[in-house]
Amino acid sequence: MVDEFPRSRQAREAAEQALVRVVHHYGDKPEFVVLGGLVPELLCSRGSHQHAGTTDIDVQVNLEIECGAVNTERLERAVIEKFRGQLPGIKTSLDDLAANFADPKSQGPVAYSDQYLIEYPDIDVATAKADAIIGVETFYKELSEHL
């Protein structure tokens, strides 16, 4: 795994700017949810303790996957447009993402299906895991073609 840059105000601002550029290139209302280190400051900006910050963007893309290929392709295009010259430098992160969704017992499909089944309890767990694996495989393949 690539060493992370130190968390700082400057790193957080860079992550915020990257998110804004991805959303701009997305071209429509995103169907993904922002998670991770960008969230605490938005929710607790008046708190007495400051969050450590972040160096990246974490998003939950299951809504993109669920909405079908059109939304997933828009997210792929937005990421490619934003990071066009930097994709070779983020290959390790993409490889980590693919590894986390490599098989039904991996962390990614388990977490995805757990959340999905809360919202859609009539769906079979194996189907939810397969959807997660296929969605990430497709996303990874599309981005990898640009490396």
Q: Is residue 76 situated within a structural domain?
A: yes
In a domain, 1, yes or no: no
CA–CA gap between residue 103 and residue 129 (Å, rounded): 8
Q: Please check whether residue 2 lies inside any domain of the structure.
A: no
Mean local confidence (pLDDT), 21-30: 72
Q: Is residue 81 part of a domain?
A: yes
- Kindly report, residue by residue over 95-117, the tens digit of the pLDDT: 888 898 999 999 889 988 888 88
Question: Is residue 23, in this structure, part of any structural domain at all?
Answer: yes
Question: Which residues are within 8 A (CB) of 128 and not within 5 positions of it... i.e. 6 or more apart?
Answer: 109, 112, 113, 116, 117, 120
Could you tell me the residue range of the domain that residue 129 belongs to? 9-144
% of the chain surpassing 70 pLDDT: 65
In-domain check, residue 110: yes
Domain count of the chain?
1
- Give domain status of residue 126, yes or no: yes
Band of residue 124 on the pLDDT scale cut at 50, 70, 90: very high
Token pair belonging to 95: 């490889």
Give the pLDDT band (50/70/90) at residue 1: very low
User: Does pTM top 0.85 for this prediction?
Assistant: no
Which pLDDT tens digit goes with each residue over 68-78?
656 667 777 77
